[in-house]
A and B are shown apart, each in its own frame.
Chain A
């Protein structure tokens, strides 16, 4: 069913929804951006329709709701571990199509990889209902069409905001009763059909080409350009890595927590082992590791999609203006070059 609601009506419905749901959406934090007089847009619990940032893409992805940057796994007192508790309410999350597709990658890692299901992710993901946000024409760093993530029909509700009003399509039966008294209107979401930015991910034809690609000088460029800050992976819709660590309460050293915190393969120390063994020492090696994971290794393991949804948030966040799209183009050129030289070698 389709409806049209004023923001005021939406607020009243949000009020009643909040007895059962936490509502999460991208929200603008004025003046909190990285540079002076800039804003930050990230996910937060919202209570009113005008808190939702409809017009711009969020700086950080929707994954933060399900896998917070830092999360307590266990509380311990002396020698006892007690599992942390999750929110009791269901979660209504406003997401763009790229974020919906990114959720499948999160599920692949947290629920399926190795046939182990992570209970912390599972207990959150079971509560989720998706409110799909239309993207209009998209934004300058988006390349969702290239990655096949521009469309989805996996949502409980879809929304378009126009002049302090919302058009809504409600598919979910549990949500429908909340909207019974609203004026009906014809609405189904439309999707971005073309991005200015296009990416063609190269097919790597064999192991020999892959081995040469890992050694290719294209990665050396990042030794100078990449500052290993990890902003790209934190802004990434699909990155899942974390590090666990224990903390002790200052007031009582018998009590503490085991936490997990988002980790970045781009930051030094990601591979450090006790005893001083390090596996990736340079920014170039770390970039090669990340880019090949996103555009080769993940698909080689799970045999379905590349681990990138084309949200372009990493491009927007990089302080060194490194573009993942341009990097993939360079990788494609390197693959062509290696393949051609192998053919020439083979022909000799």
Chain B
């Protein structure tokens, strides 16, 4: 009988500091996730936590982790050559086929950039996959900025708006991402577009409302949820909201469904 919650040891290939609190760990693995999926990362004696895949390629996978909990704090003591334990990938990921050939609007808050990063790389490498990419990225402040060099690269291939909640620095807007939604030329898309929103729950809620004000139909909006999980396979119950399990039916949801979900 296969034990579905048995983690597998994977070697850490690289550790890169992204910001004051966030590091990206590159791990050696043959697991090929879908864009937007997550894995259970564990460290024996410390515990296990769901972490989204922030990028992947042949034989490797990236996890961008903020040191906020017991497991993630322990992960921060790990160095290349050490091991992390993985199981997954879990969840549905982004509906890429539905995005293909359309204008894409991607709006992220803070670490919400991590679950869309691999998809952005795909759009960068395959410029014909979608018609255009409009990217709005917000961070709390300068210290929280992630993937700086990629943000620079994306300025050349995507239409970008970068903003800090409460700081004004060169090349960055000041304000919440919600304030910049109206700058997206939705009218010019001829209805042929999809919107992806990822960030903390209040950010997703108000960005969704803001999109509504720009006459974006609910069915064109996609979110990614984060919840506490112990198992990631629909058993432990922690991530259940109404009749859905975030681990099984999410983490990405269409807004037509997400707007009715009440924790």
Look across to chain B and name the residue whose beta carbon is closest to the beta carbon of A248. Answer: B45
Q: Tell me which residues across on chain A come within 8 A of B95, comparing CB atoms.
A: none
Is A293 touching B240 in the complex (CB atoms < 8 A)? yes
Most buried by B among A73, A116, A211, A265: A116
Is B263 touching A241 in the complex (CB atoms < 8 A)? no
Is B44 touching A246 in the complex (CB atoms < 8 A)? yes
**A-side interface mostly:** mixed
Report the minimal beta-carbon distance from B52 to chain A, rounded to whole angstroms: 13
Report Cα–Cα, A122/B236, bound state, in Å. Answer: 15
Known A246-B44, A293-B240, A300-B243; contact A274-B233, beta-carbon cutoff 8 A: no
Is A81 touching B237 in the complex (CB atoms < 8 A)? no
Is B233 touching A271 in the complex (CB atoms < 8 A)? no
Report Cα–Cα, A216/B3, bound state, in Å. Answer: 42
Is A119 touching B236 in the complex (CB atoms < 8 A)? no
Of residues 186 through 229 on chain A, the ones whose CB sits less than 8 Å from some CB of chain B are 207, 210-211, 214
Report Cα–Cα, A125/B238, bound state, in Å. Answer: 23
A347 interfacial contact with B, CB 8 Å: no
Stretch of A106-114, A150-158, A310-318 with 4 or more beta carbons under 8 angstroms from chain B:
A106-114
Is B263 touching A240 in the complex (CB atoms < 8 A)? no
Look across to chain B and name the residue whose beta carbon is closest to the beta carbon of A288. Answer: B262
Report Cα–Cα, A244/B242, bound state, in Å. Answer: 22
Tally chain A residues at the interface, Cβ within 8 Å. 55
Report the minimal beta-carbon distance from A306 to chain B, rounded to whole angstroms: 12
Known A114-B233, A119-B3, A246-B45; contact A271-B248, beta-carbon cutoff 8 A: no
Q: Tell me which residues across on chain A come within 8 A of B9, comparing CB atoms.
A: 79
Look across to chain A and name the residue whose beta carbon is closest to the beta carbon of B4. Answer: A116
Q: Tell me which residues across on chain B come within 8 A of A19, comparing CB atoms.
A: none
Q: Tell me which residues across on chain B come within 8 A of A293, comparing CB atoms.
A: 240
A341 interfacial contact with B, CB 8 Å: no
Known A207-B260, A245-B47; contact A275-B238, beta-carbon cutoff 8 A: no
Q: Tell me which residues across on chain A come within 8 A of B228, comparing CB atoms.
A: 270-273
Look across to chain A and name the residue whose beta carbon is closest to the beta carbon of B82. Answer: A79
Residues of chain A whose beta carbon lies under 8 Å from any beta carbon of chain B: 73-74, 76, 78-81, 83, 109-110, 113-114, 116-119, 122-123, 207, 210-211, 214, 240-248, 253, 256, 258, 260, 263, 265, 270-277, 279-280, 285, 289, 292-293, 297-298, 300-301
